[in-house]
């Protein structure tokens, strides 16, 4: 009899071990199914059209601008004749607007001491060349900066009202010739926001004050946000454009601008690259920005790509492509931009760098210059057009790649079937394990296991491990749902220490109390169905 009992116990042990292994195997399949489904859905979203939403009206103020433009530095030319020649050749090449930075510190080196002479001449020449000026109001004089930013002319002023007064003075003087005002530049990266944390809410305040001042001085003004720099970072000295724009909307900034300015450089990736996600820098980043605006209820505001492009100089910060690839990518990107009704402006980074960086013997060759910006140049150091310039005149090939429209529904249905099968097989495996009896008897051990799970969960970053922690917590709480409710209540003060779960296509933020409640759901369902709810009659 004893021998039979031992055999039975041995068989039961093996069955329980196999059931445990089966559960782990099924969980692995579930994780693989989740990953596969997310990848398919992400590919379908990236390859497909942007979400259906209202388009910016054709008569929107920010849409009243030619598509193609270029950023310039007209202060680099020693004579007015050279400056006018540079503007004429841009007009003749087919560009409709030029983006010129106006440095506040140059115009107002001392409080109230305004020097408009150079700007008067520059704007007169832009208008005479039949080009539309887009003015970037940027920088700060030493007298307006915070002491910690004393050596940083790109830092914002200590008092945003000072900048608003300067912006109003500019708009009052040039309102008849200037309609488009970009407020600041690249506030999402250092050093353009000074020696401080990057904070979209603070930029929202500067934008609000400056926009109100400009509109009061120039009723026809079109306000463009600062051109957000392309970055994948989300730290103290850089915040990616997606997060920055989301926080700008959350701060109520939508009423203070008429267009969103971004800089979708290709970074070596072709314009047909469909990946539109925070961790990928490419031309398709424009579609990601568009989705953010739709989600914020701002679909009717145009986007301006004030600087885009590919660099042909080796080892450039923007990635390097061959001159032929640069030509093809540029033409294709322009064709792609023309197919997006929500994109109103597309600008090349520069016509030529301000400093040639060349010796006298290499003036005609960008390859011998020290400045990698020459990899974007439309004209060489002598002034002859680069072959790239023709890319703005030839028809390109917009990307037409797209997965079938049934891809996402098919992927979701397939995952639902897989999940149902896994749940069914898991339920059969769980019945072999004596979980209910063990959890009912060993209350002290349950508490210890919960503490261990909380510690592992706190440090875990791998989504499958986080999922295992939640499942294990659900099993432990299953016998006494009141434990889960108490745990959730204790974790409420730690709400902002949420867990960011990276699910490839998106990030799920799960506060601690929400995680505890999620693990308690199975126990609450069991308690609700039980004749004697566990919450009312806990087992000691």
- The predicted model gives 19-31 an average pLDDT of 78
Strand pairing of 132-138 and 97-103?
parallel
Statement: residue 375 has pLDDT above 60:
yes
Check: CB of residue 520 under 8 Å from CB of residue 488.
yes
The residue ranking higher by pLDDT, 232 or 405, is 232
Q: What is the pLDDT of residues 312-344, one digit of tens each?
A: 998 778 889 999 999 999 999 999 999 999 999
CA distances from 349 to 205, 280, 300, 396 (A): 28, 20, 26, 19
Alpha carbons 490 and 368: distance in angstroms, whole number: 65
- Mind listing the pLDDT tens digit for each residue in 3-14? 556 667 777 778
pLDDT for res 176: 96
Question: For the chain, how far is it from start to end, CA to CA, in angstroms?
Answer: 34
Q: What pLDDT band is residue 130 in, cutting at 50, 70 and 90?
A: very high
Q: Quote the CA–CA distance of 66 and 96 in Å, as a whole number.
A: 5
Ramachandran angles phi, psi of 185, nearest 5°: -145, 130
Q: Name the phi and psi angles at 496, rounded to 5.
A: -80, -5
pLDDT-derived band at 194 (thresholds 50, 70, 90) equals: confident
CA neighbor of 49 nearest in space, from 328, 302, 341: 341
Q: Read off the tokens for 347.
A: 């600008």
Q: Is the pLDDT confidence value at 382 over 50?
A: yes
Give the pLDDT band (50/70/90) at residue 366: very low
Give the single-character DSSP code of 214.
Answer: H
Looking at domain 62-392, its CATH architecture is Alpha-Beta Barrel (3.20)
* Cis peptide bond N-terminal to 191, omega within 30: yes
Residue 540: band (very low, low, confident or very high) from pLDDT cuts 50, 70, 90:
very low
Q: How far apart are CA 487 and CA 453, in angstroms?
A: 12
Share of the chain above pLDDT 90, in %: 53
Whether the pLDDT of residue 511 is over 70: the answer is yes
DSSP category for residue 502: E
What is the pLDDT, as a whole number, of residue 475?
83
pLDDT at 535 over 60: no
Structure confidence at residue 189 (pLDDT): 95
Given pLDDT bands bounded at 50, 70 and 90, which one contains residue 458? confident
- pLDDT value for 7: 62
Mean predicted confidence (pLDDT) in 526-537 = 54
Task: Give yes or no for residue 537 having a pLDDT over 60.
Answer: no
pLDDT given at position 505: 59
Q: In the predicted model, what is the mean pLDDT of residues 52-72?
A: 92
- Residue 237 · residue 195 · CB < 8 Å: no
Domain boundaries defined on the chain: 2-46+407-529, 62-392
Q: Please give the C-alpha separations between residue 5 and each of 2, 9, 11, 12, 15, in angstroms, as whole numbers.
A: 5, 6, 10, 10, 15
Q: What is the pLDDT of residue 365?
A: 47
Burial of 425 (0-12, 13-18, 19+ CB in 10 A): middle
Amino acid 402: pLDDT: 60
Give the per-residue pLDDT at 56: 92
Q: What is the mean pLDDT of the chain?
A: 86
Task: Round to whole Å and give the CA distance between 172 and 110.
Answer: 20
Query: What is residue 501's predicted lDDT score, i.e. its pLDDT?
Result: 77
Bridge partners, 385 (sequence order)? 379
Q: pLDDT tens for residues 77-109?
A: 999 999 999 999 999 999 999 999 999 999 999
Residue 534 confidence (pLDDT) above 50: no
């Amino acid at each position: 009899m004893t021998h039979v009992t031992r055999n039975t116990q041995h068989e039961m042990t093996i069955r329980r071990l196999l059931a445990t292994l089966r559960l782990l195997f099924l969980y692995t399949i579930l994780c693989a199914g989740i990953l596969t489904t997310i990848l398919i859905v992400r590919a379908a979203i990236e390859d497909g059209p942007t979400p259906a939403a209202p388009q910016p009206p054709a008569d929107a103020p920010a849409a009243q601008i030619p598509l193609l433009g270029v950023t310039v530095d007209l202060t680099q030319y020693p004579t007015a004749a050279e400056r006018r020649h540079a503007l004429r050749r841009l007009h003749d090449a087919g560009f409709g607007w030029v983006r010129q930075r106006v440095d506040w510190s140059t115009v107002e080196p001392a409080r109230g001491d305004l020097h408009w002479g150079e700007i008067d001449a520059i704007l007169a020449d832009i208008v005479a060349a039949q080009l539309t000026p887009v003015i970037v109001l940027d920088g700060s004089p030493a007298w307006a900066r915070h002491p910690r930013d004393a050596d940083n002319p790109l830092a914002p002023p200590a008092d945003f009202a000072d900048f608003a007064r300067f912006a109003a003075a500019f708009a009052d003087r040039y309102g008849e010739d200037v309609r488009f005002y970009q407020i600041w530049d690249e506030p999402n990266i250092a050093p353009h926001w000074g020696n401080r944390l990057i904070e979209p809410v603070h930029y929202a305040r500067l934008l609000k004050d400056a926009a109100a001042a400009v509109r009061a001085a120039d009723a026809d003004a079109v306000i463009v946000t600062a051109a957000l720099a392309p970055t994948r970072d989300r730290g103290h000295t850089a915040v990616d454009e997606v997060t920055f724009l989301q926080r700008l909307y959350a701060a109520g900034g939508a009423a203070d601008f008429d267009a969103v300015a971004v800089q979708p450089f290709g970074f070596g990736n072709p314009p047909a690259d469909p990946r539109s996600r925070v961790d990928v820098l490419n031309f398709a980043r424009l579609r990601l920005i568009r989705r953010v605006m739709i989600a914020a209820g701002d679909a009717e505001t145009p986007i301006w790509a004030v600087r885009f492009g590919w660099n042909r100089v080796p080892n450039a910060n923007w990635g390097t492509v061959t001159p032929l690839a640069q030509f093809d990518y540029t033409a294709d990107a322009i064709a792609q931009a023309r197919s997006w009704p929500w994109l109103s402006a597309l600008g090349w980074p520069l016509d030529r760098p301000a400093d040639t960086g060349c010796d006298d013997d290499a003036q005609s060759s960008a390859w011998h210059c020290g400045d990698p910006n020459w990899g974007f140049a439309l004209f060489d150091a002598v002034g002859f057009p680069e072959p790239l310039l023709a890319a703005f005149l030839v028809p390109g090939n917009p990307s037409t790649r797209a997965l079938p429209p049934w891809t996402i529904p098919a992927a979701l249905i397939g995952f639902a079937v897989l999940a149902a099968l896994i749940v069914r097989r898991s339920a059969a495996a769980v019945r072999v394990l004596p979980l209910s009896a063990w959890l009912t008897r060993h209350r002290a051990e349950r508490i210890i296991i919960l503490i261990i799970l909380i510690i592992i969960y706190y440090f875990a970053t791998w989504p499958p491990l986080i999922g295992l922690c939640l499942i294990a917590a659900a099993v432990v709480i299953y016998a006494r749902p009141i434990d889960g409710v108490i745990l959730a209540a204790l974790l409420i003060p730690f709400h902002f220490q949420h867990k960011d779960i990276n699910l490839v296509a998106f990030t799920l933020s799960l506060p601690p109390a929400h995680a505890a409640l999620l693990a308690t759901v199975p126990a609450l369902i069991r308690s609700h169905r039980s004749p004697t709810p566990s919450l009312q009659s806990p087992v000691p």
